Amino acid sequence: MSHVVLPVAYFAPVSYYAVLYAGEEVVIEANEHYTKQTLRTRCIIATDQGPQTLSVNVEKGNKLKMPIREVHLSNHGDWQRQHLYSLATYYGNSPFYEYYIDDLREVFLHGHDGTLFGMNEALRQHICREIGFEPKIRYSEQWMGTLDCITPNGLFRSDAPSLPLGSMKIPPYYQVACVGGRQQFMADVSILDLLFNMGPESILILEKIVKGTS
């Protein structure tokens, strides 16, 4: 995979980061229109009760056909605090939660310009650094068109909460949500699940995913 196009994503799934890790060049779509109820505003975490969706609140004035860069975050519902509470509840006992959470919280709350695009990209950049790789990123200069799968030339777009990557297999790794047999392994949830559970070994999981699809 040498060239991919991805939307910005909120605590994107593991497969998204595998695409970032594999791509020689990744284009982040910066000129699309805002799309509700997609991975741009939703992520899925693994809990002892099964997968749970966390959703970002944006200002009510943000309608369809609004440029993605103009979508502003809303403080309505105190969703940031609720998301942090959920992470503490379900990952507080994971091996690396305490190691990563303080810096992540700072970026999440204060390390961006208050837009959906800005927050998602700030979080993506921070998480890539924490995992230990720096993808070659450029931002689209115009709308790249609608794609819903990986094509032979590697172009990709997703309008779903998770990425339909088909042949990408996520190898099982330790999940605190599965301790004691409470749940079966939940593949391709948010990258935070991998980071909090596997820490420095997260990059090894991404390598396995990429090798498994090459």
User: pLDDT tens digit string along 137-166?
Assistant: 989 887 766 544 443 333 344 443 344 444
**Strands lying side by side in the sheet with 25-28:** 3-6, 25-28, 137-139
How much is the pLDDT for 146? Answer: 56
Render pLDDT for 28-73 as a digit per residue (tens, 0 to 9). Answer: 889 888 888 888 999 999 999 999 999 999 997 656 678 999 999 9
In the prediction, which pLDDT does 61 show? 67
Whole-prediction pTM value?
0.88
pLDDT at position 164: 43
Q: Which pairing describes strands 25-28 and 3-6: parallel, antiparallel, or unpaired?
A: parallel
191 vs 60, higher pLDDT: 191
For the segment 197-208, what is each residue's pLDDT rounded down to a tens digit? Answer: 999 999 999 999
Q: What is the DSSP pairing of strand 42-47 with strand 50-55? A: antiparallel
Q: Where does the pLDDT of residue 85 fall: very low under 50, low under 70, confident under 90, or very high at 90 and above?
A: very high
Report the chain's mean pLDDT, rounded to a whole number: 85
